[in-house]
Amino acid sequence: MSTTVGIVDYGMGNHASVEHTLRDLGFRVRISADAAVLNETDVLLLPGVGAFPSAMKALHERGLVSYLQEKARSQSKIIGICLGMQLLASASYEHRYTTGLDLIPGDVMPLPDAKWHIGWNTIECVKTSPLLQASDGHPFYFNHSYVYRGPDEYQIGIARNPQPITAIIRRGNVIGLQFHPEKSQAAGKELLRNIITGLIHA
């Protein structure tokens, strides 16, 4: 039976492109904010485009904050992409201080000099992980002006702009990608496949 990925629908996110990529990779996809539907999936994926405070408000309104926290406690597999990765953190200072899901300790801070990190960039693996084999030397697409700052133990991949920027974080079965694998051509698709299958067989 093929793996089913549950895209968490909280009203903000690039669902269509993520769904298309996942289906291209042979995964089944469910898009829902309903816990009963999401519970029938193998991996939860938290997409996101927009502002952190609005995203957390939307998650609270749908009862998804406590749901995702409980799923993480029960060792469920969770992937966050771009804003979805930032939501995994303890808090953000985007516009104002806002608490996050707190699945991976750390805060989301503005990039220096209010700069955006937009475009293609390679990733350096700072911790060995079989999940990241497809990332070696390939460029991935970034588009963000805030970045995760947290304990080194959770940072497994960085990009440079030119200063180091956290690109991949992981705590147990929860992993976050600051870039967009669904917009990163063949390398992005292969990396997403590796991460999902690696989490399933962990």
Sequence ranges of the domains in the chain: 4-200
pLDDT, averaged across the chain: 92
- Per the structure block, which two tokens stand in for 90? 């303890």
pLDDT tens, residue by residue, 31-70: 999 999 999 999 999 998 889 999 999 999 999 999 999 9
Q: Which pTM does this prediction carry?
A: 0.95
% residues pLDDT > 70 (the chain): 96
Please state the rounded mean pLDDT for residues 83-109: 97
Residue 95 has pLDDT above 80, yes or no: yes
pLDDT at 121: 93
pLDDT digits (tens, 9 = 90+) for 142-197: 999 999 999 999 999 999 988 899 999 999 999 999 999 999 999 999 999 999 99
Contacts of 137 (CB under 8 A, 6+ apart): 122
Task: Output the pLDDT for position 45.
Answer: 98
Domain 4-200 has CATH 3.40.50.2000: no
Q: How far, in Å, are 34, 133, 141 from residue 104 at the CA level?
A: 23, 22, 23
Asked whether residue 114 carries a pLDDT value surpassing 80, the answer given is: no
Confidence of residue 1 (pLDDT cuts 50, 70, 90): low
Q: Which residues are catalytic?
A: 82, 180, 182
